[in-house]
A and B are shown apart, each in its own frame.
Chain A
Amino acid sequence: MSRPGFVLEVDEKTPPLLTLSGADLRLERFGVGTRVAYPADSVASEDPVGLIDAALESPVGAEPLPSTLDRSTKLTIVVRDDKQPEPRMRFDVRRSILERVLEHAARAGVDDVQIVIATGLNRRWSRPEISKILGDRVATSFIPDGLISSHDVTAEDLVTIGDVDGVPVRLNKRVAESDLVVSIGVASDHTSGCGLALGLTDTETINRLEGLYADRATTDRITRIVYDAVPTFAVTAVLGQPLLGTSLSFLNKREWEWRLPDQFAFATARQLVSALTKRGSQKLFGNPLADYAISDMIGGDAALVRQQAREAWMAANSVELPGSADVLAVSVWGSSFDNGNPVGSPINAAHDALVEQAGSHAGTPLVREGGVLIARHPLSRNFSNRTQSAAADLFAKVLPETLDPEVIRERFEGAASLDPWYLALYREHYANHPLKVFHTWYRIREATNRLGDVIWVGGDRRSAAVLGHRAATTFADALEIASNTVGSHPDITHLHGPGQLLGVVR
């Protein structure tokens, strides 16, 4: 068991603490009295096979998996991909689970096995990606026969499995026609979305789950319909905190525990990032991989597994905070949410700060209503032209016109989700579905609305203005700007990256 997360109250003896901004790393001295919340320590992973076997053989609310398989079973293994832990997993635990499940299937003589990646609105997987994530063994035995596919939310052959308020819920054909679905995924945050519903249904349904007017009751009904449609055995690995590799190993430790190698690694990384060109630093730090310890592995009935996995993650990663802060400060580390782009795009940066980090709480928000969020990120306008084309256009053309989600939904969402170029990028060039950025924006806006101000330290002024936020040069300036809203002696909580904690406000 790793050391749990905790809150450090900064005093005179506290050393400078690490902050991240885009690709930039620095040590900063924090004001006395600032509360710095650290997530639980990250530890190295161990061989998960034992955990997997236990999950498969003593599941919750279901028969053990091996006993449900026989020769005639039409088996579909769903790899959930609606959410990925960021940074990416160095070794994807889903691969271990998948291989184990396939072994059981082979042992039972199951002939008809297919793999469906439940990508939902996210990028579909290219062949190299499949090999990379699921391993060459799976890739070489499944790809040539077309037995592995990414779900296409726009596919025409989706099967209607029920309806909610007269609107049909349509599911991936192969999944809907299977005798048994084994759903494999990870739990790496506290969100409660159902990977199957979000990953395997149609655009319309996903829009009702995650769109502007999503509501709990509809979500529950859709999820239920999906679970009822096919017998599902879920296996979910609960992940710990990311353990970063050698050159970034100092990120895994608390600053006062840094040894000479860590200090040296930090100094090197810092100098390299500032000395090298964007390209150079990208090569070094653009694609960080992290090792995740598996803190728990749960198998069985999909709904139960989902709930238990979530509870397990929350229990392992929660940090108690004494109260909602006036000012919440977060570090936005580009590499952790936009792969291949060390800095990160402005919309995803805002999502990371406002939704992922500030939204990771057990009910009481980390920052009070009308408080201020200060995030560190350069907000430079770099969107991937291929995977984020819709996001780039939203940022360049829609947001300068209006920030209002209702107006955006009314005027732009429909056209974008039917746009032939976006859809061509989604289907053929492994881009995000155009709807995704709209959902992202709605969440950003919801989070912004309850705040007095959002200030980006070191952020591009025009980008911040496009987002409806503000930019400041230094943290002190940001506090100065914030003082209009929260006064000159605000209560500051700083979330220490790069891992993610669950804030439990007492």
Chain B
Amino acid sequence: MASAPRSSFGVPETASVHTPPLLDGRIRDLLAGKKVVMTGVTGFIGEQMLWKFLTECPEVRTGVLVRRKGSVTAAERVASLLKKKIFKPLVETAGSVEALMAARVDVIEGDLPNVPDLPRDIDVLVHCAGDVSFDPPIDQAFMTNVIGTKALLTKFRESCSDAAGNLERIPHYVHISTAYTAGRRRGAIPEAAHAHDVDYEAETRAAMAMKEHVETLSRSSEQLTELRKQAERLHRRAGYLTTSEDTERRRQDWVDRELVAAGTERARSLGWTDVYTFAKAMGERVVTDLGGDMQVSIVRPAIVESSLRDPYPGWIEGFKMADPLILAYGRGQLPEFPASPDAVIDIIPCDYVVNAIVAVCATQPEIGQPEFYHCSSGARNPLTFRGIYEHIRSYFSQHPYTEGQGSVPLAVWNFPGAEPVERLLWFADKGIKVGNKLLSFAPRGKQVRAAAMSLDKTAKQLDFLNKYLSLYGEYLQSEVHFVDDCTLALHHSLHPEDREAFGFDSGDVDWTHYLEEVHVPAITDPVRRLEAARKRRSQRSATYKALKPSEPGTVLAAFDLDGTVMATNVVETYLWLKLPELSIAERAAEVAKVIWQLPNYIGAERKDRGIFLRQIYRRYAGADLAELENFVEEHLSAFILDRTSPEAIRRIREHREAGHTTVLMTGVIRPLTRPFEGLFDHIVAADLATDATGVCTGFLSGPPMVGESRSAWLRHYANLHKFDLSKSFAYADSHVDLPMLRAVGNPVAVNPDVGLMRAARSSSWSVIEWPSDSPQPRWKLPHVREER
């Protein structure tokens, strides 16, 4: 009778299976008296590893290689690490953090690749430091993973060698890599060195050279011109400095992006998914090359997520790979995701990884025979993408992310594959571009702002989706499974009494329990709390706050006029001044002229407000300044006051009552600011130049006060009169006024245009409405014969 065909790989020939060095006692005993030095203890796995050694292996002396961060020394960083909740019992037993450090933790201050001399008594070195980002710039990836590893190994060797460079004793080097060093390989990945013939030295040199190259490229005139144009499109109106700041920021971003792209492309050209796994693979090769005469173990975890049991269920530091996606799903921001539903997502709880590493530390591998261990779940307890989706959906159906207002229905994913989703993304991206273009021409107003806000929200979601698709797309389609026979063998060799504390058999993870009761709550609960706190914070007004009386002469309150205090613009004020003295026909002609010029004006306004203002002031040529002032006095002042916003006036008066010095900063001509003289201590306005007979020349006597001149003026004025700008206030409505708002501590965007609203929201400034509910209609002209 023929046997049924096998659906699995079947039972292997015992002889062909590699058996790793096993444990022959309790781990604490095997490691007793040894000194274990770790890198990366400030990271996710490293922190728990330190905790594990300190808790479970009382006779182990630990050392940590930590870098200084700014003015915080390594020792201080370790001390603050040990103040965390999970170390509390240990600290209590030791008496204090300092006592614990003195007794058990040897701090070595140093950085990768600038590794200091290491102590000469290290038995086991666990290299756990590394970039966790999937898309670091290529130079950075090689710097940490290849050059850093090399430097560490070199110093390690020195610490175990005599003066001649011969090893005095054989140490154990444990390298933490990633299972995904397998790259774009498919199918079963064995626990062994990957076969490839990439020269890591050459790659490293190229990566470092790339940095130089891209930096140089970014400074080329073509590139800088392109970036400047991009910056100008957004910030031209705000002024040169704002634009140049933005250009430089864009240049740095461009360099980063290019380096990331260079890394990704290089990795893909050699068969890796991204530069992270590529550099990690190169790092492994460094280890096997340089550790030829040492005991070497390489641990390759897959996707490490929150702990299942230790130090407590759900222990996690920061956001890991899948977590932003889980949250986004709960928030209803992921309508669909182009993953293969049957792709195996190889998740492994953090404590399993840590336990495996500690167990590996206790083994005695053969010299020159690097041991590889996969910490993964995919081979024996596979969790498919669809499985994760269902668990997460089930969690969020029972515990909706937001309740009441703002709650959203959970998306149902049909897994249509990448193509339709990408098409959708492409169209959405185009839609957003068109929307933004339209918005840039839209008149300002509440609805426009609301439209811009919803557009921004959509764009943010798209960005998010795009980013994660490009980052994780490959992983979510991957069809690999990591064989973890060695890891399993090691697990089985655990002393029965260690099984409880050190077990790491991924086959025993109950995914329903892990995902729905441990992991997803562990990442969503803190975010919920955070968001609730943020919501409370944002309900308190950020920069528009109740005024407290202050010492007179210390606080400034600067107000923009057009659009902020008064609903009008310079074209309109020009017409107010001009039209009333004309006959009906002349009026029509004048309005027609202005309308004819309007496209020019709008164009100028979009480019540079200064140019625009100059064009308008040109029209005043030939007017008698004294008569103009007289006209304002007689006919316009009442009209102007009627147009101001009552809230604005009230706020200005409150500032005055609080002892603040009020300043009006405006581009309109000075005569028009006459009615406000009682409200402001200082008025900065445009002064029309006149000839000898007092007739306006159409030019200004100085440059118009717009954009950066306003912030410069404020700074200088504050300096001269000892005002504290950080306590001062500014109110403005337009993107042009950004520098003025940035100059003070309490900037408020009043009826902002889209540009300013975006800037205000990103800087969390208050955005308020000051409606001018004047009983006068907007287009009403001042009558020379003013009615009552």
A384–B774 touching, CB < 8 Å:
yes
Question: Which one of B550-558, B712-720, B777-785 is at the A interface?
Answer: B777-785
Tell me the minimal C-beta distance from B400 to chain A in angstroms. Answer: 34
For residue B787, CB closer than 8 A to chain A, the reply is yes
- One of A128, A131, A132, A282 near B775 (C-beta < 8 A): A282
In the complex, chain B residues 638-656 whose Cβ is within 8 Å of any chain A Cβ: 638, 641-646, 649-650, 653
For residue A421, CB closer than 8 A to chain B, the reply is yes
B contact residues around A238 at 8 Å (CB): none
For residue B679, CB closer than 8 A to chain A, the reply is yes
For residue B84, CB closer than 8 A to chain A, the reply is no
B786–A128 touching, CB < 8 Å:
yes
> What total of chain A residues lie within 8 Å of the partner, measured CB to CB?
39
For residue A126, CB closer than 8 A to chain B, the reply is yes
A424–B678 touching, CB < 8 Å:
yes
For residue A420, CB closer than 8 A to chain B, the reply is yes
In the complex, chain A residues 420-444 whose Cβ is within 8 Å of any chain B Cβ: 420-421, 424-425, 428-430
With contacts A389-B646, A420-B678 taken as known, whether A382 is within 8 angstroms of B775 at the C-beta atoms is: yes
For residue A328, CB closer than 8 A to chain B, the reply is no
B646–A126 touching, CB < 8 Å:
no
In the complex, chain A residues 334-384 whose Cβ is within 8 Å of any chain B Cβ: 338-343, 381-384
For residue A115, CB closer than 8 A to chain B, the reply is no
Tell me the minimal C-beta distance from B378 to chain A in angstroms. Answer: 62
Max chain A CB contacts within 10 Å: which of B642, B679, B784? B642
A392–B787 touching, CB < 8 Å:
no
For residue A386, CB closer than 8 A to chain B, the reply is yes
Q: Interface residue tally of chain B, by bracket?
A: 20 to 34
A287–B777 touching, CB < 8 Å:
no
A contact residues around B772 at 8 Å (CB): 385
- One of B637, B645, B785, B786 near A385 (C-beta < 8 A): B645
A429–B638 touching, CB < 8 Å:
yes
For residue A253, CB closer than 8 A to chain B, the reply is no
A128–B646 touching, CB < 8 Å:
no
B contact residues around A131 at 8 Å (CB): 785
- One of B638, B649, B775, B784 near A430 (C-beta < 8 A): B638
In the complex, chain A residues 123-174 whose Cβ is within 8 Å of any chain B Cβ: 123, 126-129, 131-133
Give Cα A132 to B784, complex, Å: 11
For residue B541, CB closer than 8 A to chain A, the reply is no
For residue B317, CB closer than 8 A to chain A, the reply is no
For residue A396, CB closer than 8 A to chain B, the reply is yes
A contact residues around B784 at 8 Å (CB): 128
A contact residues around B777 at 8 Å (CB): 278-279, 282-283
Tell me the minimal C-beta distance from A146 to chain B in angstroms. Answer: 15
For residue A88, CB closer than 8 A to chain B, the reply is yes
In the complex, residue of chain B having the shortest beta-carbon distance to the beta carbon of A384:
B775
With contacts A283-B777, A381-B773 taken as known, whether A340 is within 8 angstroms of B787 at the C-beta atoms is: yes
A contact residues around B774 at 8 Å (CB): 382, 384-385
For residue B776, CB closer than 8 A to chain A, the reply is yes
- One of A127, A278, A286, A396 near B650 (C-beta < 8 A): A396
With contacts A384-B774, A420-B678 taken as known, whether A389 is within 8 angstroms of B788 at the C-beta atoms is: no
Give Cα A425 to B679, complex, Å: 11
A429–B778 touching, CB < 8 Å:
no
For residue A204, CB closer than 8 A to chain B, the reply is no
In the complex, residue of chain A having the shortest beta-carbon distance to the beta carbon of B640:
A386
For residue B675, CB closer than 8 A to chain A, the reply is yes
> What 1/0 flags go to A384-398 for Cβ under 8 Å of B?
111001001100110
B788–A129 touching, CB < 8 Å:
yes
Max chain B CB contacts within 10 Å: which of A123, A132, A385, A429? A385
A contact residues around B643 at 8 Å (CB): 385
For residue B634, CB closer than 8 A to chain A, the reply is yes
* Contacts between chains A and B (CB distance < 8 A), count: 81
Give Cα A365 to B136, complex, Å: 85
Tell me the minimal C-beta distance from B566 to chain A in angstroms. Answer: 10
A429–B788 touching, CB < 8 Å:
no
Give Cα A282 to B774, complex, Å: 12
B783–A128 touching, CB < 8 Å:
yes
- One of B635, B638, B678 near A421 (C-beta < 8 A): B678
Tell me the minimal C-beta distance from B469 to chain A in angstroms. Answer: 48
Give Cα A133 to B786, complex, Å: 11
> What 1/0 flags go to B173-209 for Cβ under 8 Å of A?
0000000000000000000000000000000000000
A279–B634 touching, CB < 8 Å:
no
- One of B653, B778, B786, B788 near A88 (C-beta < 8 A): B788
Max chain A CB contacts within 10 Å: which of B637, B641, B679, B774? B641
In the complex, chain A residues 236-252 whose Cβ is within 8 Å of any chain B Cβ: none
A contact residues around B649 at 8 Å (CB): 385, 389, 421
B788–A132 touching, CB < 8 Å:
yes
A128–B637 touching, CB < 8 Å:
no
B contact residues around A343 at 8 Å (CB): 775
Give Cα A131 to B783, complex, Å: 13
Give Cα A417 to B546, complex, Å: 24
Give Cα A362 to B637, complex, Å: 43
Tell me the minimal C-beta distance from B332 to chain A in angstroms. Answer: 34
Give Cα A338 to B641, complex, Å: 17
Max chain B CB contacts within 10 Å: which of A381, A424, A428? A428
B638–A386 touching, CB < 8 Å:
yes
- One of A127, A282, A338 near B634 (C-beta < 8 A): A127
In the complex, residue of chain B having the shortest beta-carbon distance to the beta carbon of A279:
B777
Max chain A CB contacts within 10 Å: which of B635, B644, B773, B779? B773
Give Cα A389 to B635, complex, Å: 19
Give Cα A429 to B679, complex, Å: 13
B contact residues around A420 at 8 Å (CB): 678
Tell me the minimal C-beta distance from B610 to chain A in angstroms. Answer: 30
A279–B641 touching, CB < 8 Å:
no
With contacts A88-B788, A128-B783, A340-B776 taken as known, whether A421 is within 8 angstroms of B653 at the C-beta atoms is: yes
A341–B775 touching, CB < 8 Å:
yes
In the complex, residue of chain B having the shortest beta-carbon distance to the beta carbon of A283:
B777
B contact residues around A392 at 8 Å (CB): 646, 650
B contact residues around A287 at 8 Å (CB): 787
- Between A and B, 24 residue pairs with Cβ closer than 8 Å are A88-B788, A126-B786, A128-B784, A129-B786, A279-B778, A282-B775, A283-B777, A286-B775, A287-B787, A340-B775, A340-B776, A340-B788, A381-B773, A383-B646, A384-B775, A385-B643, A385-B646, A385-B649, A385-B772, A386-B641, A386-B644, A397-B650, A425-B678, A429-B675
Which B residues form the contact surface with A (CB < 8 A)?
A: 634-635, 637-638, 641-646, 649-650, 653, 675, 678-679, 772-779, 783-788
What are the 6 tightest A-B residue pairs by CB atom distance, in nearest-first order? A279-B777, A341-B775, A386-B641, A424-B678, A128-B786, A128-B785
Known pairs A279-B779, A385-B641. 20 more at Cβ < 8 A?
Answer: A126-B786, A128-B783, A129-B787, A132-B788, A278-B777, A282-B775, A338-B775, A340-B787, A382-B774, A384-B775, A385-B642, A385-B644, A386-B644, A392-B650, A396-B646, A397-B650, A420-B678, A425-B678, A429-B638, A429-B641
